[in-house]
Amino acid sequence: MQIRDLNDLRADLFGREVVEATARRPVANIVATVLLFLWPIGVVGGILMMVLGRNEPTLPATGAVMIGVGVLLLAAALLLRRHARTAPWHVWRLDPQGITVAGVGPLPWEYVGPPERRLVRAAYSDGQELGWCLPLTQEGIAWMQTLDDGCRQVFDPSLRPRLMVIGRRRPQVVRLMPMRDADMGDWVAVVGEAWERFGGR
């Protein structure tokens, strides 16, 4: 996958008036990171059991199982990392009509503010995190409320159903997620320029 710089993105914006980019799969990266942290525990623990438990009949066998589990965790982590780098996810499209994500839209530019970095609901966990977003206007909130849950989540993953939350969360922003084919800073910059060019002001 070739990474496009800001000049490439601007060429699409000011030439064809269409910019498309594909988001990364962050959940796969998170799971892979957890597995990469866990696999050495299984391997080292298994080796210690085999070495220190030679006089116990069951410990060496348990140690061998732990080593096997550790190796499987490492293999799974590497496969997930590879999948996250190569598997396509949501395609974002910026054009004069608005923002379309995974075929949902367009969300008109007049319904969002310019990009800003602020504390927002965490995309894939509870709590808050610092992230780039487009704040929704009242019209944008009303537009998002007309979408079903799956469609709302492509604009803001934090709107997914949660066990401890009753009812639908009120949409507040469009989250700008990392792209596979563009640096985050360049992506935020071109979204801001598209907002100005296509009537967001």
Instruction: List the structure tokens of 74.
Output: 């490492």
pTM of the model: 0.67
Which tokens is 83 given? 């999948």
CB-neighbour burial class of residue 45 (10 A; exposed 0-12, middle 13-18, buried 19+): middle
E strands, the chain, where? 19-22, 91-95, 98-101, 104-107, 116-121, 128-135, 173-175
164 has a pLDDT exceeding 80: no
pLDDT the model gives residue 200: 60
pLDDT tens per residue across span 1-21: 567 777 888 888 888 888 888
Is the separation of the CB atoms in 171 and 145 below 8 Å?
Answer: yes
Rounded CA separation 64/49 (Å): 8
What pLDDT is attached to residue 20?
Answer: 83
**CB-based contact 112:174 (threshold 8 Å):** yes
Supply the pLDDT for residue 165: 53
Q: What is the mean pLDDT of residues 165-176?
A: 79
Is pLDDT above 90 for 144? yes
How many whole angstroms separate alpha carbon 98 and alpha carbon 109? 5
Residues paired with 116 in a beta bridge: 133
User: What's the pLDDT at 5?
Assistant: 74
**If you search the block for the tokens 């008036």, which residue do you land on?**
17
Window from 112-116, 144-148, 182-186 with minimum mean pLDDT: 182-186
Domain locations in the chain as residue ranges: 6-23+91-197, 28-86
Question: What are the CA-CA distances from residue 196 to residues 11, 84, 98, 109, 146 (Å)?
Answer: 16, 32, 12, 9, 26
Contact between residue 3 and residue 21 where contact means Cβ atoms under 8 Å apart: no
Using alpha carbons only, give the angle 6, 120, 105 rounded to the nearest 5 degrees: 60
Q: What is the pLDDT of residues 33-88, one digit of tens each?
A: 777 777 788 788 878 888 877 777 777 788 888 888 888 888 887 777 665 555 54
Residue 201 forms beta bridges with which residues?
Answer: none
Query: Among 123, 129, 24, 125, which residue's Cα sits nearest to residue 81?
Result: 24
